[in-house]
Structure 1
Amino acid sequence: MAELNSTPGKSGGRRATRRIPARVDLTAMVDLAFLLITFFILTTVLTKPRVMPLAMPVPGPSGKVPETGTMTVCLGKNNQAIWYMGMAANPLTTPTQAKYGKELDAAIAAKVSEVFKRTGKGLFVIIKPSDHSVYNNLVETIDELHNERVPSYAIAKIAPEDIGFLKSKGIY
């Protein structure tokens, strides 16, 4: 298949001997080259960053969102968060502590279905990261909102009332 043939050169001696040319089979090298090329193509395709769309609100007057369809998630330290329904000044439910992963995902899923059954509209989520939260937790929360098909959410500054809720749970 792929081989390297070398022709013997003329020797300056008086007797001409016939030499058998050395044959090097390069099939294994070609196979290895294709494997390496395939490996590097696949790894570069798989490591491309995936971008999630994030729409930020336009400055100006904002529309009124009903508090019964609003869930507030405050991100704390140690991969923990609190969530409640309503606004910080007057929450409709008591703030509940949840770990990232199954606990917070289950809470969001339950509230999405509850609000949709009650109002026929989607849930509005306000995400408030604290100074002690990790950026990855914000990304995981937004990713979970996309998984649950939450139509609208906002990232807001944390209020002093929310900091009080986080401190009372020991996660600020």
Structure 2
Amino acid sequence: MAELNQDSGKKSKKGRTKKDGGKVDLTAMVDLAFLLITFFMLTTSLNKPQAMDVAMPDKNVETDKQTDVDVDEHRSVTLVLGSDDKLIWYQGDVKKPLQGPTVVDYSKDGLRAVLIKMKQTVPQQAGGKDMIVVIRPSEKSVTRNIVDALDEMKIVDVKRYMISNRIMNDEVELLKKDNLYND
């Protein structure tokens, strides 16, 4: 049993031992402490990791065959991620863009403002269909840029977006022209 003993074990001047200060049984308090610790451990929820669902292609599909999907140029907005935490966006085809190419950053006044504006204008241009965003990271972009772009997709509530592993030569030339293809 747990007890609190306050006996100092000293003798008084007359040779007699001091009177016992008494004993306190701490068993009930220890039991209560463990019950409280157990209660709070079981009722407290730990922080759950926040993850974003990204649909990945089926692994059974042959990767050697590159199939291009035709998308209405009025619906597609392409984000080409460059260096220095900047990106270039354009609407439509890279050779004849409907809008852009324009250099922006990942701030709320940069990429977020572009996505909000395009989310409103694309359905008007595309006959009511929603916007498709293609994210194309370059060799000079960092993983943080992809995460920032995906965060903006979630914040703006873009329903259709994809990460492309293929960047075109024309897009690399755009990055080089705007000095966004640096080490």
The TM tier, using the shorter chain, reads 0.7 to 0.9
1:77 aligns with 2:83: yes
Once the two structures are TM-superposed, the CA of residue 8 in structure 1 deviates from its matched residue by 5.0
Question: In angstroms, what is the RMSD of aligned CA positions?
Answer: 3.4
Aligned with 1:67: secondary structure? Answer: coil
Matched length: 157
Once the two structures are TM-superposed, the CA of residue 7 in structure 1 deviates from its matched residue by 7.1
Query: 1:128 aligns to what?
Result: 136
Render the CA deviation track for 1:125-171: whole Å, top value 9, x for unaligned: 11000111011111111121122221211111111100001111111
CA distance in 1, matches of 2:171, 2:99: 13
1:67 pairs with 73, 95, 101, which one? 73
TM, length-normalised to structure 2:
0.71
Unaligned runs of 5+ residues in structure 1 are none
Whether the aligned pair in 2 keeps the contact of 1:56 and 1:154 (CA below 8 Å) is: no
Query: 1:5 aligns to what?
Result: 4
Query: 2:113 aligns to what?
Result: 106
CA distance in 2, matches of 1:57, 1:66: 21
Structural mapping, 1:132-143, within 5 Å: 132-143=140-151
Aligned with 1:121: secondary structure? Answer: coil
Q: Which structure shows the higher helix fraction?
A: 1
Once the two structures are TM-superposed, the CA of residue 63 in structure 1 deviates from its matched residue by 4.7
Unaligned runs of 5+ residues in structure 2 are none
TM, length-normalised to structure 1:
0.75
1:147 aligns with 2:148: no
